[in-house]
Each structure stands twice: as structure tokens, then as C-alpha cells.
Amino acid sequence: MEPTLNRPLRRSFVKGLLGTTSFWMASGNASWTAALAAEAAHPYQPIFFDAMEYRFVEAASERLFPADNNGPGAKALGVAEFIDRQMQTPYARGENWYMSGPFQQGPANLGYQLPFVPRDLYRKGIAGVEHYTRQHYGKGFADLPPAQQDEILTALEGGSVQLGEVPGRVFFEQLRTNTLEGAFADPLYGGNRGLGGWIMLGFPGARADFMDWVNQEGAPYPLAPVSISGETA
Amino acid sequence: MGRTHVDAVIVGAGWAGSIMAKELTEAGLSVIMLERGPERMTPVEGAYPESIDELRGAVRKRLFQNLSQSTVTIRNTMDQTALPYRQLAAFLPGEGVGGAGLHWSGVHFRVAPEDLRLRSSVIERYGEKFIPEGMNLQDYGVTYAELEPFFDKAEKVFGTSGEAYKVQGKIVGNGNVFSPDRSDNFPLQAMKDTFSASIFRDAAKNAGYHPYALPAANASRQYTNIYGCQMGPCNFCGYCSGYDCYLYSKASPNVNILPALRQDPGFTLIPNAHVLRVDLDSTKTKATGVTYLDTETREETSLSADLVILGAFQFNNVHLMLVSGIGKPYDPVSNTGTVGRNFVYQTITSSRVWLPSSTYTNQFVGAGGAGVAIDDFNSMNFDHGPLGFVGGSPVWVNQAGVKPIAAAIGAGGGGTPRWGSAYKNALINTYKHSLGIDAHGSNMAYRDVYLDLDPTWKDVYGQPLLRMTFTWKDNDIRMNQYVVSRIEPIARAMGATKMNLVHLNAGQPFDTRNYQTTHLGGGAIMGDNPQTSALNRYLQSWDVSNVFVIGSNAFPQGMGYNPTGMVAALAYWAAHHIRTTYLKSPGPLVKA
Ligand SMILES: Cc1cc2nc3c(=O)[nH]c(=O)nc-3n(C[C@H](O)[C@H](O)[C@H](O)COP(=O)(O)OP(=O)(O)OC[C@H]3O[C@@H](n4cnc5c(N)ncnc54)[C@H](O)[C@@H]3O)c2cc1C
Ligand code: SF4
């Protein structure tokens, strides 16, 4: 595998070859540079979230994906860092969603129809949950015991809570999806620290060569995972 | 300045467009192929290890259509307001050179011959009354025997791996007993069975069914195709569906056609060129060329061409016809017009089977086209009489490489937790010890399921979005339920400790939020009657004879098989008739 340092160089070569306005190439580029930069700095300083929001994301994602006998939870895996870094990508700005109006609501099965991109959903959603928990529990979400945090998450998932302009369920699904992404994406993006997510699942990561394991009569795959940068466990 | 003139202009650089471009340049025509998305080359974006990235790949959908530019609106019934498909989910159209052919899976079927004449076949066996009210059941107007040479050619271009059953009337192997005669074998031997597929094969055989290796456009060996393009052997890397193949093992226009085509001086490929419309003369019976927008400079250019080929994918082809005024738009109320008629999709439900915790299914191992299937409940291969529905489904284990983010997001639900420790435990168990079995079935056409232009929403170019009116109908729901019920004994014989059989439910509307397949079809169908089909049997517009419309838009029904093998064969079929007949005397190939 090529050493990490070569990558940005190769990226700019790619850019030259294909022209600079390809949306996809640009997005790959941005997240790659961000990844390299963030790896160097520790502990992670959130860029998108403020301190309160970041505590919320850490606490809530840990309840969704908790540390337990099976292995690390969201906190140890760096999920909050992952989400904060994702908030600086085109995805979080909704740049690959159709975001032209009018925005008209309809039956759930016709899909997402809100005028909010992921960055808005977090801003509004977290403020809404904090407001809700203070009203009902007298404290911020991160300061509540796990049982009460679970109660709140259950209420959001069940759809009984409206967070201002954002339905609680929509915010819950956004947070759940990004939490699981952070647990299992390549560590390049700040989550899945130490390949902890992949180890739990027995997923070999970027090996991508199973010629010898197409059919081994149900035996487990023997090698530990490797990441894109060559990190192994 | 006069417009640039070429012999043929092709819209879209996927399989349909690339095949047509190859054929027409071989015939000596000057050809420009316009692609709205960027240039894509495997040594660049497909390279290891960056392409082995689930987040950037299938999750953030790097290679798929960017909906911010253009999308569709969807509703279930005609009395609803259709709403924009704002986030990719139910289907994942391609964009960029290679189209969806760059990131498809590679299941490469021919066709069940009776699916080509489904209306006739159903009537012969069960009588006309068997066809439910409101179902627009139609024949293609072309037979398997006519298409056979073109299926054969496509397999030799794609480097398809498979096991034949019958070649030139002789039984030659362990292939699909329901499959029709072939003029030649597959170019490559079948892909190996994954462990999951192998136990499905044994269980299905023991249950009295007829398992066969899925025909796969994933190369089981190294291969050089008839254009001199080379493929390397697939290693079951598991980053297949939704990814380009870093090993050059999955057939794509980029690997199997374009390397040869790009060297032809008569061929020009222009990426980042979004075609806005086909230009027609004042009689609306002749195309004069196309107008496209350079998506980088935002400059509009009109090209003049003698022949216009639409290969922009099923619903984009219909959209271009509607905005250009080619043919008469379908009106479901008066049941007249053809463009937008018979919009179809595919029924697919994925069931899950858990094996004992000592058994590892290694679901990350897989290739997009590899697997084992049975056709005992597909097409007309079983008796529909007592069952009372039209259509069917192959059933298969097609372990294409399950990756962790997709597995985690999809886990839980249906009464089991979707987060927390219990969820995590179930996810790990499911990932390590389970496998999926799909019923991948047909979808019939209905009078009130169709495509037209949306009255409200527009794309960034100011054109109305295409509107889909689509939902599941009783016939297809009952078909799916029946086939899924047949999975249970197979799953038991596989040693299931638990199973979750998933089927469509009565009255269940189509849900745009869950991935189905990208096997959309119809909307500009082929046929032998200009009143009920937009295209004749050569995929030529009945109304504008120098426009050919290539793609799954031509299917009158959604079939149980994956569509691309059929799309490729239809492209070669149309190209053959353009080359041998049309070019000699341009005009309608069939008198209306
Ligand atoms: C994840 C995935 C897996 C799949 N797996 C299988 C499988 O295993 N087997 C199978 O048979 N099929 C499979 N399919 C479906 C298969 O990809 C399609 O059937 C096939 O690629 C269609 O080819 P096409 O050339 O008709 O369209 P496309 O490949 O979609 O190409 C059309 C091209 O036209 C371009 N275009 C559209 N509008 C315009 C415009 N206005 N101007 C200029 N260009 C335009 C598009 O950007 C695109 O590049 C899969 C699809 C997906 C998404
Ligand atoms: S599974 Fe095989 S064909 Fe598919 S991407 Fe990997 S190597 Fe290529």
C-alpha cells in the first residue's frame, strides 16, 4: 500500500486529469484533506458543534451504540468526532439532495420533504432535545442518567416528540444513521478508532481479496481488518 | 456559425449508449456521445485502496446521480400530489461515463422466452379473462430466436461467467433447466459458489427444485473480449454493487467497450454535456439533432445529426421524449397516447436466514453477479391457474458483499430494537451468521401506473421533472407472497435456527425510502401497435423515425430477471437493423 504522504499528491493529479468541477471528486478531496489534518490534532476540537452540542452528540450516540461486553461504544470509537467532521462535507450541506421548493409534506412513504439539510437538522434537533429535556427532566441531556437518556431517545424514535420545526423522529434517524456510520466507516473519517467497529463484526475492512475464502464451509475468516491507510488491528 | 453536423448523436454513455456508439462507428458513421456526468476511468477513481471505502462509495453515493441537479417526483395514486425524490434511496441511477454500468452488480441474464410474449402466453394457457382488469399485459413483438445472436454477442462482450444448460439443442451442463437453447456456451465458466450460495444450492436441490449458478458479468478467469478489451479474474472483493471494480473483473462500458471505441477517429465522447432536448423539424416527424448544456460553462450547444439515439436510461429517455415532443404523451384517463405508458419496476423482497453460531457466512465475501438461483417460480415455469396471478420470481442467494454500515443501518426493526446493547448484539450475530435470500420478481403494467411531466417541480435547467405514478398492485403482491412462502422449506433444509421471511403486504404502497432495485422499466415500450407502444420492434420511435430509444424503457412488463442483459441484446438487435436496413434507406423500419 502506498504511504499516506503520497495521497494528496495523487489526488491533485487526479483533479488535473478530470477537470476541477466534478462534484464527486471535489467532495472526496475535501474530506481527505480534512481527515489528514484532523488526525494530527488530539484531542479533537469540534468545528461545527459548540461544546454543549458536542456533549449531546457524545452522550446520545453512546446510548445508541453503547460500550458493552461485545466491545467499544460510540465514544471509544470516535463517533462524535466523525459526525463533526462529516458536518464539513457536501453531504451535510445537502449538496447531493434535491433541495428546490416548494416543500410540501406528504405521506411518509414518499420520502423526506423538509427544507433542512443535515447541518440544520443537528442545530435545530439538538436545541429541541435540550429544550425538551430541561422542561421534562430539569437538566441537559448529557447530564441525565442513562435510563432517562434512553427514555428520551425512545420517545424521539417513536415519533411522539416534535422538536420545533423538526419532527423528533427525523432527528433521531439522522443521529442513528450517522452514529452507525461513525462506528463502521474507515477510520480515515475519524470514527471506528482502532478498527474497533470492524473487529466486533469480524469485518476485514479494505482487504478486498477473498479468492481463498469463497467457500470454506462456514469457517470464520482468519485475518484481522486493515484500513485504507494500512492500519491493522 | 453553423451547427456541427455528425451522422449520429447518442445521449448517455452507459451500456445502451456505448453499445450503439460502437456499432455505429463500426458502420463508418461519425458519432458523438453526450454524457451529462463526468469522465470516469477505473485507474483513477476505481483504484485500490481508495475505492474500497463504504462511506464514500455506497453510503455517500459517490458514483450515483446527483439529485441536486435533477430528479423525479413520485406519488402512489393519481389523486395524490407527487413529491420530489429528494434523497437517493429506492433506486440509484447512474451518472458519468459508464452510467450505472460502472457500478452495477453484474447479474447478467438473457430473458425467459415466454416473457417476450407474456400476453399471448397467458391467454393461450389460461384465457383472456385471467388477465386482471386494468393490467396492460403486452408482448414485445420480438422473439427469443430473433434475439439469440445478440444475447450471445453481449455475453462475449461482457465476458460473462455461467453454466449453460442447452447449447444447439444438446444438454451440456448443470445450468438452468428452464433456460432456452443457446447457440454457444458462456465465454467463461461459472463463478464459484460462495458458502452461502452452496448451501442454498444443496437445500434447493433436495427440495426438488433446479438450482443453477447465476450468470455473472464478473470474470471467473482472465478474458479478452471481441473488442480486444481485457478483464482480470474476480477475487470476490465484496465492493461490487455500487462500486467500480478495481480489478477490471466486472464488465462495464468503461472496461469492455470504451477502450476500443476511444481509439476510433469517428468517435467523440463529450462528458459534462446535459442534453436538454431532441430538436425536431416543424412536422415533428424528423429529428434535426440535439441541444445540450455544458454543465461547466453553462453554454448551450446545438448539434445537427441524421440519427439520434437515446440511451439516457429508462426514465430519462421518457423524459427526453416528453420534453422534446416525440410521440403522443400517455393519458391514463382516455387510455390514449404511448409515451409514459406501461411504467414498470420490479418486486423484490429480501428474507433472512440465521445459521448456528458455529457457522460463519462471511457476508463480506462476494461478487455482485455471483450466486445460486432457482427459476421454478419464475415466468411461466409453474402453473399460475390455481394461484390466480400473472408473473413470477427467481429466488436466489446472491451474496454480493455485505458491508458494515449498510448492515448496521438495516439491522433491527420489526419489533426488535434498532439501537442499544441488545441491537448491537443482534447486529453482530446477524452479520456473522446469517445470509439473505431474495425473491426478485416481475412487476406488471397497469393503466394507472405511468410517467408524465410534473406540473410543479423543475430541474436546475428549468425543465419540468418527470412524474412517476407507481404503487404495488394486488396481482404482484400475491405473486411475491406466494414465491416467498416457497422459501421456507429451503431455509429449513439449510439448517436455519431462525428466519425472517419478508414479503409485500396487501395494500402496501411503494415506499421511496427503501432500496428496491434500479430495475425500472417501460414508459416508452416496444411493440407491434403504434396505439399501445411508443417504439416499434426495432426500438425506433413510431412517430420520429430517425430516433431510436434504447433501454429498459422498451420492456412492456418488469421481468423477474435483472434487465441489463436484455437491454444489451436489444441494443445489438436495434443496431443490427440500423446497420443492415435503416442506413440504406432511412425511414420507418415498420409501417405504422
Ligand atoms: C447498484 C446497482 C446494481 C445493479 N445491478 C444490476 C445487475 O446485477 N444486473 C442487471 O442486469 N442490472 C443491474 N443494475 C441495473 C443496470 O445498472 C442498468 O440496467 C443499466 O446500467 C442500464 O444501462 P443504460 O445504458 O440503459 O443506462 P445507464 O447506465 O443509466 O446510462 C445512462 C447514462 O445517460 C446519462 N444521461 C441521462 N440523462 C442524460 C441527459 N439528459 N443528457 C446526457 N446524458 C444523460 C446518465 O448520466 C447515464 O450515464 C444495477 C443498478 C444499480 C444502480
Ligand atoms: S467482487 Fe469481483 S467483480 Fe465485483 S468489484 Fe470485486 S473483484 Fe470486481
pLDDT at residue A28 tops 50? no
Note the pTM of the prediction, 2 decimals.
0.95
The torsion defined by the Cα of B447, B449, B454 and B456, in degrees rounded to 10, comes to 110
- The domain ranges of chain B are 4-584
pLDDT of residue A42: 67
The torsion defined by the Cα of A221, A218, B418 and B410, in degrees rounded to 10, comes to 80
Residues 6+ apart with CB under 8 A from B93: B64, B65, B100, B313, B315, B316, B518
A106-119 residue pLDDT tens: 999 999 999 999 99
Task: Assign A202 a pLDDT band (cuts: 50, 70, 90).
Answer: very high
CB-CB contact of B319 with B462 (8 Å): no
pLDDT of residue A12: 31
pLDDT of residue A43: 83
Inspect the interface and report whether the beta carbons of B431 and A97 lie closer than 8 Å.
no
CATH architecture of B4-584: 3-Layer(bba) Sandwich (3.50)
Question: Which residues in chain B (309-368) have CB-CB distances under 8 A to chain A?
Answer: 355, 358-362, 364-365
Lining residues, ligand 2, CB within 6 Å: B 218, 234-237, 239-240, 243, 245, 247, 249-250, 367-368
Ordered per-residue pLDDT tens for chain B, 592 residues: 578 999 999 999 999 999 999 999 999 999 999 999 999 998 888 999 999 999 999 999 999 999 999 999 999 999 999 999 999 999 999 999 999 999 999 999 999 999 999 999 999 999 999 999 999 999 999 999 999 999 999 999 999 999 999 999 999 999 999 999 999 999 999 999 999 999 999 999 999 999 999 999 999 999 999 999 999 999 999 999 999 999 999 999 999 999 999 999 999 999 999 999 999 999 999 999 999 999 999 999 999 999 999 999 999 999 999 999 999 999 999 999 999 999 999 999 999 999 999 999 999 999 999 999 999 999 999 999 999 999 999 999 999 999 999 999 999 998 999 999 999 999 999 999 999 999 999 999 999 999 999 999 999 999 999 999 999 999 999 999 999 999 999 999 999 999 999 999 999 999 999 999 999 999 999 999 999 999 999 999 999 999 999 999 999 999 999 999 999 999 999 999 999 999 999 999 999 8
Rounded Cα gap, residues B59 and B67, in angstroms = 15
Residues 6+ apart with CB under 8 A from A4: A36, A229, A230
HSE of B172 in the Cβ direction (CA atoms, 13 Å)?
Answer: 18
| A20 at interface of B, judged by CB pairs closer than 8 A | no
Nearest to A221 among B70, B362, B460 (CB): B362
| B195 at interface of A, judged by CB pairs closer than 8 A | yes
pLDDT at residue A23 tops 80? no
pLDDT at residue A39 tops 70? no
Ligand 2 atom nearest the C-alpha of B218 is 3
Question: Which residue in B103, B384, B440, B519 is the catalytic one?
Answer: B519
- The domain ranges of chain A are 10-95+111-201
The torsion defined by the Cα of B334, B335, B339 and B342, in degrees rounded to 10, comes to 150
Instruction: Output A16 or B556, whichever has higher pLDDT.
Output: B556
Task: Assign A7 a pLDDT band (cuts: 50, 70, 90).
Answer: very low
Inspect the interface and report whether the beta carbons of B53 and A188 lie closer than 8 Å.
yes
Q: Whose CA is nearest to atom 7 of ligand 2?
A: B234
Task: Assign A233 a pLDDT band (cuts: 50, 70, 90).
Answer: confident
pLDDT of residue B3: 87
Q: Choose among B343, B326, B319: nearest CA to B457.
A: B319
* Strand B223-224 relative to strand B395-397, pairing: unpaired
The torsion defined by the Cα of A206, A211, A214 and A219, in degrees rounded to 10, comes to -70
ipTM summary value: 0.96
| B28 at interface of A, judged by CB pairs closer than 8 A | no
pLDDT at residue A11 tops 50? no
pLDDT at residue A35 tops 70? no
Residue with cell 469463497: A214
CB-CB contact of B314 with B339 (8 Å): no
**Backbone phi, psi, residue A54, to 5°:** -65, -40
Rounded Cα gap, residues B267 and A229, in angstroms = 40
pLDDT of residue B592: 83
| Nearest ligand to the CA atom of B234 | 2
Task: Assign A24 a pLDDT band (cuts: 50, 70, 90).
Answer: very low
Residue with cell 462456514: A218
> What is the percentage of chain A residues whose pLDDT exceeds 90?
81
Q: What is the DSSP string of B452-510?
A: EEEEEEE-TTSPEEEEEE----HHHHHHHHHHHHTHHHHHHHTT-SEEE-----TTPPP
Average of per-residue pLDDT across A8-26: 30
pLDDT of residue A14: 31
Q: In Å, how far are B165, B449, B467, B511, B584 from B77, measured between CA atoms?
A: 43, 8, 11, 13, 46
Q: Choose among B315, B320, B314: nearest CA to B277.
A: B320
Nearest to B68 among A99, A113, A220 (CB): A99
Q: What is the radius of gyration, based on Cα positions, of chain B?
A: 23
Distance A125 CA to ligand 1 centre (A): 37
Helix (H) or strand (E) holding B212: strand B212-213
Q: Whose CA is nearest to atom 50 of ligand 1?
A: B104
Q: Is B577 a catalytic residue?
A: no
CB-CB contact of B392 with A149 (8 Å): no
pLDDT at residue A26 tops 50? no
Q: Which of B91, B160, B316, B566 to mutate to test the pocket of ligand 1 (most atoms within 8 A of CB)?
A: B316
